[in-house]
Structure 1
Amino acid sequence: MKGFGTAASVAGLIAAGVLATPLAAEKITIATVNNGDMIRMQGLTDAFTAAHPDIEVEWVTLEENVLRQRVTTDIATKSGQYDVMTIGTYEVPIWGKQGWLLSLNDLPDSYDAGDILPAIRGGLTVDGEMYAAPFYGESSMVMYRKDLMEKAGLTMPEAPTWDFIKEAAAAMTDKDGEVYGICLRGKAGWGENMAFLSAMANSYGARWFDENWNPQFDGEAWKAALTDYLDLMNNYGPPGASSNGFNENLALFQTGKCGMWIDATVAASFVTNPTDSQVADQVGFALAPDKGLGKRGNWLWAWALGVPAGTDSPEAAKAFVEWATSKEYLELVAEKEGWANVPPGTRTSLYENEEYQKVPFAKMTLDSINSADPNNPTVDPVPYVGVQFVAIPEFQGIGTAVGQQFSAALAGNVSAEQALNNAQQLAKREMTKAGYIK
């Protein structure tokens, strides 16, 4: 409903004779990813519409790679299909600078934007303007089966090395029993397999580009990282892993098929929820592995809600963003689902909450988020910002193309050497075309 803010204001206008009948509710369309926390948010939408009866919410829920394609096309072409977009730490600074997103600095004081974790808020802010509000924040960590680790005669360190992960994966694998020592992302995409592989490669001393923007896939560090990844997955991973992304590996872990899973910290609530997970009482957590070079293989990300500049309903869209990313929303989820299922990684006050501190993965999540440094993501200096991505517009295309090469290597269609060579050539071609290198 354009121009009127609340049901009370509408009622007043009707009573005064300004409006003869109530106007239809103003509809906003929200594009989101099919992750568990977003599905839960949709289930709680009635709480929003009860408080905002003049706003009707329509959901478009998409798989991660499809979501990224759709919202990028929509905002770049200014088609105005969506009023609220679920976007991430990669898109927000780029789109904010281009004027494609509305600033959220005008959210009311009661929203308490200063409570948002600095690492997360910083990734969503450009020149002092916050262009998206975090629905959840995450890093990555090791989730593992304590019972299988004990059976293997091993103890997971709080800060494991990649060598220990390989040893444990071998010891926990029982292919006859359909238990695989490790599950990792293999599905191609800059935010799918390349999120994991970029973070892993950082810990091996690899970089996407050197300080002069030259691609680095022809170096020894990338060769070592990709070779170890393929060895882990080919020897101790599940079949068909080149098709597995976050959701597929989550299902495998929940059904007892994985000894270890290195992925987003946000998964912790789903693997420890006895309603969904068959191994809920046997899950332990550790920091992402390292190679002894001073960097761990963990990323930094936030799924956030942004309002495109082309929306016809900016106030209604901002009202939804405010509700879905507020302290009150966290309390609503806690009331309905328990503190372990609250969207993590966004607010300092959540980690100061005594009830939330009892959640077994709370501290590990916060430690992982705080240890990721997007301004210094690699062992050697780089000209870019971003841990598991490179914050330049061209990365979306380059990252997905490289991801396709590495997924093909996992599927056995090309060798590791050929995949790296192809990655080097395509990255060099695109960076030359874009003017980064001559």
Structure 2
Amino acid sequence: MKSMTRALLGATAVAALATAASAETLTIATVNNGDMIRMQGLTEDFTAQHPDIELEWVTLEENVLRQRVTTDIATKGGQYDVMTIGTYEAPIWAAQGWLVPLEDMGEDYDVDDILPAIRSGLTHDGKLYAAPFYAESSMVMYRTDLMEKAGLEMPDAPTWDFIKEAAAAMTDKEGEVYGICLRGKAGWGENMAFLTAMSNSYGARWFDEEWNPQFDGEAWKATLTDYLDLMNNYGPPGASGNGFNENLSLFQTGKCGMWIDATVAASFVTNPNDSQVADNVGFALAPDNGLGKRGNWLWAWNLAIPAGTEKADAAKEFVAWATSKHYTELVAAKDGWANVPPGTRQSLYETPEYIEVPFAMMTLQSINSADPTNPTVDPVPYTGVQFVAIPEFQGLGTAVGQQFSAALAGQMSAEDALAAAQSLTEREMKKAGYIK
């Protein structure tokens, strides 16, 4: 009997070794935010269903992730089998032939359930090239207790003038409470995501209809001046180094009266396990100036498969799992409906349990109000709300962001920052052949 048991155990061990030897390892590059970290913690569900697929994670800060995956895919480096990319990259890279079209995702995947505003931004020539893990717009998150203490009431749709008034009223620098926290870290997807969206509500544009840069106009001057005034008078020290994660930490620890940023942050600031102010958070639409555009963006973090991978079938299995209705239900069962990845599927906003989440419908309203095909007050030749959907924007946006971050740090004036932005953008657009 013992010898039979040993034989059975031996056969099991051999089978396990054989499975391990034949397993494909997917290398997944992703961003170091809370939703992606949560996904990594839930992947036992995937590997249990796919014992022949192993996962290796490369988790990076937002700016670093963008730089590395862009370099890898452009040079056909082949380091990654699945990449986390944004709404900006997906259609541009698809047009270059750099991504695998996401066809044959399984009978239960239900591509048609993806919100039209999100799906259209990930589609090229009628094919989906990236699957949204979560989608977002931006909105105002604020301390209800501090607003009440200041004798103010946040409107559902505030103006920038109200934001200035509230920031002043809620600031208590001696108590280390700052009226407003905004992105200051340089990067096309960091401070320029916020500032470009803000500029839309001020009537500004990156380019006119002939692709001439517009940083020398009054609308951009008003945008940057008001941003610097808000941050210098009512913002936290060292704001030029603060991006999404830094401001999230400040808000969660009670240092910010208001924070205008990604709607996806709502679950983090209202989670009592992470946020000291979870019971005192309210939400409002991003501000406007009465010109017909609000200062909110449209974005999705998506999973895509580089065309150079030799493991496309296994990669599709993972992407389908991570962006499925099943995954949403998995998160809800473990961490509650407030923590599921938002903004991607219509069915989520038809789920009674999710509709009751305080920020759910404000997120959907914000997403639906952003129009990447008509992002500005005056006409423009580009699409994109907080970015310009041309290949050159990645470098341009970061270079301009560096000028504006330097102005926030007090290293140059607003006028000098705008002049530098105008000059470098003109130079690059001439070099790329957009203007003469």
Q: TM-score normalized by structure 1?
A: 0.95
Residue in structure 2 matched with residue 322 of structure 1 by the alignment: 320
Residue in structure 2 matched with residue 36 of structure 1 by the alignment: 34
Is 1:113 aligned with 2:111? yes
Residue in structure 2 matched with residue 217 of structure 1 by the alignment: 215
Stretch deviating more after TM superposition (43-52 or 183-192) = 43-52
Residue in structure 1 matched with residue 5 of structure 2 by the alignment: none
Which amino acid is the alignment partner of residue 258 of structure 1? C
**Aligned to 1:110, what secondary structure does the other structure show?**
coil
Which amino acid is the alignment partner of residue 405 of structure 2? S
Residue in structure 2 matched with residue 48 of structure 1 by the alignment: 46
Q: Of 217, 234, 237, which aligns to 1:236?
A: 234
Which amino acid is the alignment partner of residue 94 of structure 1? I
Q: Which runs of 4+ in 1 moved over 4 A?
A: none
- 1:277-307: CA deviations, max 9, x gaps? 0000000000000001000000000000000
Residue in structure 1 matched with residue 354 of structure 2 by the alignment: 356
- 1:381-421: CA deviations, max 9, x gaps? 00000000000000000000000000000000000000000
Residue in structure 1 matched with residue 408 of structure 2 by the alignment: 410
Residue in structure 2 matched with residue 267 of structure 1 by the alignment: 265
Residue in structure 1 matched with residue 292 of structure 2 by the alignment: 294
Post-superposition offset of 1:27: 0.2
Aligned equivalents of 2:240 and 2:77: distance in 1? Answer: 34
Which amino acid is the alignment partner of residue 100 of structure 2? L
Residue in structure 1 matched with residue 306 of structure 2 by the alignment: 308
Which amino acid is the alignment partner of residue 162 of structure 1? W
Which amino acid is the alignment partner of residue 60 of structure 1? V
Post-superposition offset of 1:80: 0.6
Aligned equivalents of 2:22 and 2:31: distance in 1? Answer: 28
Alignment of 1:358-437 (within 5 A): 358-437=356-435
Aligned equivalents of 1:35 and 1:391: distance in 2? Answer: 24
Post-superposition offset of 1:273: 0.2
Gaps of at least 5 residues in structure 1 are: 1-13
Post-superposition offset of 1:24: 3.0
Aligned equivalents of 1:58 and 1:105: distance in 2? Answer: 24
Post-superposition offset of 1:222: 0.1
**Aligned to 1:137, what secondary structure does the other structure show?**
strand
Post-superposition offset of 1:345: 0.3
Aligned equivalents of 2:18 and 2:434: distance in 1? Answer: 59
Aligned equivalents of 1:186 and 1:433: distance in 2? Answer: 28
- 1:7-46: CA deviations, max 9, x gaps? xxxxxxx99xxxx944431100000000110000011111
Post-superposition offset of 1:53: 0.4
Aligned equivalents of 1:434 and 1:296: distance in 2? Answer: 31
Size of the alignment, in residue pairs?
A: 423
Q: Of 176, 179, 200, which aligns to 1:181?
A: 179
Residue in structure 2 matched with residue 158 of structure 1 by the alignment: 156
Residue in structure 2 matched with residue 190 of structure 1 by the alignment: 188
Aligned equivalents of 1:41 and 1:394: distance in 2? Answer: 32
Residue in structure 2 matched with residue 141 of structure 1 by the alignment: 139
Gaps of at least 5 residues in structure 2 are: 1-10
Post-superposition offset of 1:109: 2.9
**Aligned to 1:304, what secondary structure does the other structure show?**
strand
Stretch deviating more after TM superposition (20-29 or 109-118) = 20-29
Q: TM-score normalized by structure 2?
A: 0.96
**Aligned to 1:387, what secondary structure does the other structure show?**
coil
**Aligned to 1:276, what secondary structure does the other structure show?**
coil
**Aligned to 1:322, what secondary structure does the other structure show?**
helix
Post-superposition offset of 1:122: 0.6
Which amino acid is the alignment partner of residue 410 of structure 1? L
Provide the identity percentage. 82
Which amino acid is the alignment partner of residue 128 of structure 1? G
Over 3 Å counting, the alpha-carbon distance change for 1:300 and 1:21 in structure 2 is closer
Residue in structure 2 matched with residue 92 of structure 1 by the alignment: 90
Which amino acid is the alignment partner of residue 327 of structure 1? K
Residue in structure 2 matched with residue 8 of structure 1 by the alignment: none
Aligned equivalents of 1:25 and 1:162: distance in 2? Answer: 55
Residue in structure 1 matched with residue 79 of structure 2 by the alignment: 81
Residue in structure 2 matched with residue 5 of structure 1 by the alignment: none
- 1:53-84: CA deviations, max 9, x gaps? 00000000000000000000000011110000
Report the aligned-residue RMSD: 1.4
**Aligned to 2:108, what secondary structure does the other structure show?**
helix
Residue in structure 2 matched with residue 72 of structure 1 by the alignment: 70
Residue in structure 2 matched with residue 253 of structure 1 by the alignment: 251
